[in-house]
Amino acid sequence: MIHITLKDGSVKEFEAGVSVIDVAKSLGAGLAKAACCGRINGKVADLRTPITEDCHLEICTFDDEDGKKTFWHTSSHVMAQAVKRLYPQAKFAIGPAIKEGFYYDFDVEKPFTPEDIEKIEAEMKKIVKEKLPLERFELDVPQALELMKDEPYKVELIEEHAGKGEKISFFKQGEFTDLCAGPHLMDVSPIKAFKITSATGAYWRGDSSKATLCRLYAISFPKASELEAHLAAIEEAKKRDHRRLGKELGLFMMADEGPGFPFFLPKGMVLKNTLLEYWRECHKRYGYVEIATPIILNQELWHRSGHWDHYKNNMYTTVIDGEDYAIKPMNCPGGMLVYASEPHSYRELPLRVGEIGLVHRHELSGALHGLFRVRCFSQDDAHIFMTPDQLKDVIQETVRLFDEVYSTFGLTYTIELSTMPEDHIGTVEQWEHNQDILKNAITDMGKEFVINEGDGAFYGPKLDFHLADSLGRTWQCGTIQLDSQLPERFELEYTGEDGQKHRPVMIHRVVLGSIERFIGVITEHFAGAFPAWLAPVQVKVLPVTDRAAEYADSVAAQLDAQGFRVEVDHRSEKIGKKIREATLEKIPYMLVVGDRDMENETVSLRLRSGEDQGAMSLADFEAII
């Protein structure tokens, strides 16, 4: 007999060899029906997996991230089976689950048309109704090659395992068999709703020198209502697309002369500078000082920091006076030089040093996306130098700063602890020690986190903050990275209370991350209707007639003198059109002024929501704004 500890902490006894799905059945028919996969000791497992020793087991449904991936991975097999039925000559590549659904790559004579996609979706419905079970089996490499001899892309994948003595895993549903490690649903019937969302080209294995395949992206759900809600959210996201709103609201532009290098327009600069004013005000209260470091530094510095070995493919380089230089992709090494430029005492620590630094990173052209993925951006970096016993307090203080900033924008977050990657520097013991410090600091604050294995920075583990916007989408913006390596590499020191030299420890942290990306996030979060304090134009004065033009200018001048951002619409247009266009510009407050307002020295207030607040004195309006 074996003992299985369940998610709620209870322990149940089973015969050795019991499968994950059988455990789920013993816990309830409803759970077994909803089960997508399991986690055995934290590792994802297929429902068919036999359990042979004591362990912790979680049953994952579609509500769980791993459950979703399993559901979508099975859905990709259904889509591939439908394509095979309709287009027998198609050759198959890979079909993984991704963050939002799944895709499958096919080698076909011509790209899929909208009519083809309709046929594929109809065939997928038929397959789901057949309730085909998925059966797993394994073959030796020669047998696997024989089975897949007509599928060149599968053959290439199998041949990579030749000589390793490994078995090759397959899953079969009806007449369709696919090379796959799983995990998968027990059968295809739970896939009640799905939609092929796009058809694009993709290189085999992402290599432009290899074959171009046709990639079908899709999404699926256990319920039709969930698909409807998802598609509605996509439509809403399109309306909020920061690239469209950025153009309509005059915030930023892109030019063919500089792909990936954004141009900020006057209103966009007001937004950006207002954001940075808030950043500076907030950081001043938390005891930060601000510096600026050069954009170009010599290559030797990047070797010393370790970035050259781990990041050189993303760096722009140049030659100055015969010496190799690099444009900075991050601010850290410059910050190390600033600290090292003068002696420090323990009395100064923790030393909180902030920098709004312009960095450049070579991103592939296909990855560029509005302000979300650019080649140059301003990063709200800070490096905090401290004694080892100050680490926990500083981490918690930093999280409190994050809480204040994110709540200002109505953003919530989840936290990931990213652990040691393969290409790390420093000892395993250092990494484990630093990971424990981050865990304890965040846990003691009553906050939860999930582990993101192997995704730490090369110099240390980190806490990544994933912000959730008004549509429930998540964006990785803030990070706190614990670093014992750069202080060592740059031989940083402080004089301790004992009069001896000591090595400080430090954290790297950003709150907004990329300022450009954060502007893109909040543009979509607010759908361009920024809070009044952040709006590029806070008030638009709308004279009803030419007679009211001079009074409108007087109102605007008084507001401007009070520090408000105001414009006057002097066009010879009807007032209804002026109101409509100011509303489309997302202006928070519109002041309509006509003959009666001139006589009474009032303004008539309208909100961008359409609400008419009526006439009031300018002083009363100033109190409102």
Could you give the residue numbers annotated as active site?
332, 361, 379, 381, 383, 462, 508
Sheet holding 566-568, edge to edge: 566-568, 539-543, 589-593, 602-607, 612-617
Neighbouring C-beta atoms of residue 13, cutoff 10 Å: 10
Would you state the structure tokens that stand for residue 265, as one six-digit string? 């327009």
| Burial class (CB within 10 angstroms; exposed 0-12, middle 13-18, buried 19+) of 328 | buried
Q: Which of 451, 379, 360, 454 is nearest to 414 (CA)?
A: 451
Query: In this structure, what is the dihedral angle of CA atoms 239, 242, 244, 250, given to the nearest 10 degrees?
Result: 130
Sheet holding 317-320, edge to edge: 296-298, 323-327, 317-320
Q: How far apart are CA 43 and CA 560, in angstroms?
A: 61
Look-up: residue for tokens 């409190």?
Answer: 400
Query: In this structure, what is the dihedral angle of CA atoms 263, 264, 266, 271, given to the nearest 10 degrees?
Result: 170
Look-up: residue for tokens 């296909």?
Answer: 366
Q: How far apart are CA 435 and CA 132, in angstroms?
A: 45
Distances 291 to 72, 171, 238, 337, 357 between C-alpha atoms, Å: 48, 58, 39, 12, 9
How far is C-alpha 120 from the geometric centre of its chain's CA atoms? 31
Report which secondary-structure segment, H or E, holds 325.
Answer: strand 323-327
Beta strands in 73-113 (DSSP E): 91-92, 97-98, 101-107
Beta bridge partners of 320: 323
Please count the helices (runs of H) and the strands (runs of E) in the chain: 20, 35
Report which secondary-structure segment, H or E, holds 378.
Answer: strand 376-386
323 three-class SS = strand
Q: Give the type of residue at 402.
A: F
Q: How far apart are CA 310 and CA 328, in angstroms?
A: 14
Q: Are 178 and 77 in contact (CB under 8 A)?
A: yes
Look-up: residue for tokens 């992402």?
Answer: 206
Look-up: residue for tokens 């096919």?
Answer: 106
Cis peptide before 133 (omega within 30 of 0): no
Q: How far apart are CA 304 and CA 136, in angstroms?
A: 51
Q: How far apart are CA 436 and CA 440, in angstroms?
A: 6
Look-up: residue for tokens 């408000």?
Answer: 564
Q: Are 481 and 424 in contact (CB under 8 A)?
A: no
Which DSSP symbol is given to 457? B
Q: Are 11 and 55 in contact (CB under 8 A)?
A: no
Q: Which of 178, 170, 177, 187 is nearest to 21 (CA)?
A: 187
